[in-house]
Chain A
Amino acid sequence: MAMVVDYKNDSSFPYWTSIRRRFEPDSPFFTSGNLERELLAKQVALDLTEDERNRLEKMIDNAARGVCCLIVGCRACLASLEDFEDHYNALHTASCSVCSRVYTTSRLLSIHVSEAHDSFFQAKVARGYAMYECLVEGCGLKFKSDKGRQQHLVDKHKFPTSFDFFKKAHPSKKKRLKNQQKRRMHKKDEEASSKMEVENETIDGLVSAVSKLSTSDSSPSNISFGRRNARGLTFVPLSVQPPREKK
C-alpha cells in the first residue's frame, strides 16, 4: 500500500492528524443521549406527546448549537443552524455577475467590480488618481496602488500579511489561461495587461454571444482565446453592469 511522504516545509498549516477523541460525561456531545435517558425514566409519569418530545429535542439541540456569524464586522447571533444559513445567504453572498466571484458584503462586491471589471477605474489609476479604497468600512482612505492599500491594511488595521483580497484571489479558469498565454506571448506591464483583461473579456463576450447565435452545431468556436467559461459569460459592454446578484 503506497504512502505519500511529503517533506515540503510549510509548517504553518495544521495538518490532519489521526487522534483519539475523548469527551467528559457532561460534554454537549452527549446531551441528546442523556436527554433520551431522562425522558424515558420520567416517561410514565409525564406522558409526553410526540410533539412535545420533538420540541424538547430541538430545544436541546439548538441550545448546544446556537451560532454566531463570524464574518468580519457582522455581530449577528442565530438560534439554529437553519437560521444561520438564512442569515448567511441573505447578507453574505453577494456575487459578481461578471466573474461569479462571491463576496460577503455588497460593499466589497462593488469594490471588486470597480477594480476588476471597470476600464474607467483602470484608466483613472493610470492617470494617478488614488482609486484603491481601504477595505475597512468607515476608514475612507484611498490609495494609488493595490500594494499601497495592502500595506495600509496591514499597518493600520492589523490585517495579516497573508490577507490578499484581489491579486492572489483565484481568477476564473478562463482568465488564468489568458493570463498564462499573455505571459508567454506578450511582455506588457501589469496595468496594460489588466486593461487587456477587460478588453479580452469584452471580446470574448462577443465571441460567446456570436457563437450562441450560430445555428451550426459544430464544435465550439475555433478562435484561440481559450476555452469558453463553463458558466457562460454573458456579453459585457464597456460600461459595467450593476452587480446586484444577492441570493
Chain B
Amino acid sequence: MADDSSTSHRRDPIKSSVGNVAAQRRRQNAVTVGKERRESLVRAKRLCRVGATGDGDVPVEENDMITDEAGFLLDTQTSSAVEELKSAVAYQGKGAMQKRVNTLRQLRRLLSKSEFPPVEAALKAGAIPLLVQCLSFGSPDEQLLEAAWCLTNIAAGKPEETKALMPALPLLIAHLGEKSSLPVAEQCAWALGNVAGEGEELRNVLLSQGALPPLARMMLPNKGSTVRTAAWALSNLIKGPDPKAATELIKVDGVLDAILRHLRKVDEELATEVAWVVVYLSALSNFATGVLVKSDVLQLLVERLATSNSLQLLIPNENKLMQRKCTLIVVLRSLGNLVAADSHTISTVLVPGHEITDGVIKVLVKCLKSDHRVLKKEASWVLSNIAAGSIEHKQLIYSSEAVPLLLRLLSTAPFDIRKEVAYVLGNLCVAPTAGEGKPNLIEEHLASLVQRGCLSGFIDLVRSADIEAARLGLQFTELVLRGVPNGDGPKLVEQEDGIDAMEIYQFHENEDLRNMANGLVDKYFGEDYGIDE
C-alpha cells in the first residue's frame, strides 16, 4: 500500500472543501442523531444488544455518531444479509439448518451493532416474511432465538417499524409457552414487550391474540432473567388506557403470590420491574387495587422504602445508585397509586394508630428528606392523599415530622414540589367534605401553620403562571382570610403582599381566577378594611 499519510497530505487542499461539507453533514447528522437518541431514551422500547443468553459476541459500539459512509455501508450489508437469508430459507439440502442459523446470526449482528440499527434497510429487503418463516414450529432453538432477536430490534424503533411485526405476532406468542426453552421464550417476550410499548392499538392486538396468560405465567418462577423480562413486557402490555388487561392479569392464578414473592427479593432489578406491574395495576384497575390492598403488598412496599439506606452511602457506583433510586421511585408510586385509588385503602388499611400507618408516614418523611426531586414530589402527593382522609389522618400527619419538612419545602423547593406540598398543607386545614356547602376549617392546624410562616409560600403560588397553582394559592388565602382567629387573616395576607398578588388577576384572561381574586379583595379589603386600627 502506498504511504497513506504522504498521499493524504498532498491531497489535503482538495479534500478540505469536501471535508467541510462532510463535516457539516456529520454535524447535521449529529443533531438528528441527538434528537433520535433523545426520543429513543424516552420510548418504552428496549434494544437488545447483548442476547438473553448473554451471547456477547458482538462488540457493542459506543460511538453513535454514524458517518454517512458507515451508515450506508451498514445498510448495504443488511440488504445482502437479508438476501442471503432468503436463499438459506429456500435451500432444502444438506446443512440447511446450519445455513439458516448462520445467516440469521449475521443479520442479528448487523441489527445489534449500534444504537440505530439498519431497520429500514432490513424491512425494505423483505426481512419480516423470512423471519416469520424461521419462527415456525419445530424449528431448532438456535434458529428461533436468532429470529426473535432480529424481530426484537426491528420493533425497538419507529412506530411504523414496530407495526411491521404484525405477521410475526401469533408465532411469537406461541413460543412463550412452557414447552419452549427459556432463552427462546425470553427473547420472544422481549420482542412482544417492544410491540406492546408502541401503543394502544398494538396492545389490543396482542391482548386479543392471547398474549397475556402465557406472559403472566412466565412471571411465576422464582428466579431467572426470564421473570424480569416477562414482568417488563407485562407492564407494557397492561398499560391501558383500557383497564381490562390489568384486571385480567391480577385474576391469573398465582400472579398475586408471585408479585408478593418478588417484591421481597433482594434483587433490585427484579423487584423494580415487578413494582412497575403493581404501578399499572393500581393506576388502572379498581379491582386489582382491591385485591392488592387486601394482601400484604402495602407492608412490603413500606419495608422496601424503609430499608433502603441513604442513597449516597454504601452505593458503589453510579449505575447502582440509579437503580436504587428507580426502585424507590416505583415502589413509592405503587404506594401512591394504592392510596389514591380508593378511600378503602386509607379507611381500612392505613388506619391511624395501626403500625403500618406509622410505617407509611415514616417512609414518606424519609422520601421528603431525600435529595431526589421525583421522590420529594411524589411523596408529597401521597401525603396529600392521606391528608384528604379523616380528621384522625390529618392529626396524624400534622403531629408528625412531616410538617416542618413540608414548610421548608414550600419556600425552597422547585415549583412542582411546592405545588404538591401546598396540597398537603391545605388538606390539613380543611375538614373532610361532608355534603353540600363550605367545608369546615380546622382552625388549630390553620392557625399554627400560618404562624409558622406558610402563607408567603402560598402567596408565591398565587403569583405563579400555573393556573392550578394560582388557584391553590387563592383558595388557601381564602382559608386564612376566613379562618385565622381574631380576624387577623386580612392583616397577615396584606403583610405578605397578598393583595398585590391578587390584583394581578384583575386583567387575567382566566375568568375563574379573576373572579376568585376580585371576590376576595372585595370582601376582605373593601372600604371598611383597617377601620379599627
Report A's interface with B, CB cutoff 8 A.
1-7, 10, 12-26, 29-30, 32-33, 35-48, 56, 59-61, 65, 67, 69-72, 81, 84-85, 88, 101-102, 104-105, 108, 160, 162-165, 168-170, 173, 176-177, 179-180
Contacts and interface: CB of A to CB of B under 8 A. Distances in A.
29 contacts: A3-B443, A14-B516, A15-B438, A16-B478, A17-B439, A19-B388, A20-B339, A25-B279, A25-B284, A33-B374, A35-B42, A36-B329, A37-B326, A38-B41, A38-B44, A39-B41, A40-B319, A44-B319, A56-B41, A59-B38, A72-B508, A101-B500, A162-B522, A165-B506, A170-B525, A170-B529, A173-B530, A176-B527, A176-B530
Given A33-B333, A102-B500, A69 B519 contact: no
Given A37-B330, A56-B38, A102 B503 contact: yes
A128 to B, nearest CB: 27
Contacts of A163: 506, 514, 518
Given A16-B426, A20-B385, A162-B522, 7 more contacts: A15-B478, A17-B439, A18-B388, A38-B44, A42-B40, A81-B464, A160-B515
Most chain A Cβ neighbours within 10 Å, of B341, B465, B506: B465
Contacts of B280: 25
Contacts of B533: 177
B373 A32 contact: yes
Interface stretch (B170-178, B403-411, B429-437): B429-437
B340 interface: yes
A177 B394 CA distance: 41
B374 A32 contact: yes
Given A70-B510, A170-B499, A179 B527 contact: yes
Contacts of B476: 16
B322 interface: yes
A18 B322 contact: no
Contacts of A102: 500, 503-504
Contact of A21 (B322, B381, B516): B381
B240 interface: yes
B522 A168 contact: yes
A180 B531 CA distance: 7
Interface in B467-499: 467, 471-472, 475-476, 478-479, 482-483, 494, 499
Contacts of A67: 465-466
Given A3-B441, A3-B442, A45-B49, A20 B340 contact: yes
B444 interface: yes
B384 A12 contact: no
B329 A72 contact: no
B323 interface: yes
Contacts of A23: 283, 340
B511 A108 contact: no
A46 B478 contact: no
Given A18-B431, A21-B385, A4 B482 contact: yes
Contacts of A60: 42
Nearest to A176: B530
Nearest to B531: A180
A162 B503 contact: no
A205 B497 CA distance: 23
Contact of A20 (B323, B388, B464, B494): B388
Contacts of B431: 3, 18
Contacts of B163: none
A67 B284 CA distance: 29
A85 B339 CA distance: 35
Interface string B419-452: 0000100110111110001111111100000000
B17 to A, nearest CB: 32
B325 interface: yes
Contacts of B384: 21
A81 B387 contact: no
Interface of B: 37-38, 40-44, 46-47, 49, 60, 62, 115, 239-241, 272, 276, 279-280, 283-284, 319, 322-323, 325-326, 329-330, 333, 337, 339-341, 343, 346, 373-374, 377-378, 381, 384-385, 387-388, 394-395, 415-416, 423, 426-427, 429-433, 437-444, 464-467, 471-472, 475-476, 478-479, 482-483, 494, 499-500, 503-504, 506-512, 514-516, 518-523, 525-531, 533
Contacts of B475: 14-16
A72 B514 CA distance: 11
Nearest to B319: A43
Nearest to A168: B522
Contacts of B522: 162, 164, 168
A21 B325 CA distance: 24
A36 B439 contact: no
Top 5 A-B pairs ranked by shortest CB distance?
A18-B427, A22-B340, A16-B475, A70-B509, A4-B441
A162 B41 contact: no
Most chain B Cβ neighbours within 10 Å, of A20, A59, A105, A164: A20
Contact of B518 (A30, A101, A162): A162
Contact of B283 (A24, A40, A164, A177): A24
Contacts of B506: 104, 163, 165, 169
A18 B525 contact: no
A84 B329 CA distance: 30
Contacts of A69: 465
A203 B373 CA distance: 54
Contacts of A15: 438-439, 475, 478-479
A1 B442 contact: yes
B519 A42 contact: no
A18 B387 contact: yes
A33 B42 contact: no
Contact of B507 (A22, A108, A168): A108
Contacts of B531: 180
A39 B289 CA distance: 28
A237 B472 CA distance: 42
Contacts of A43: 319, 322
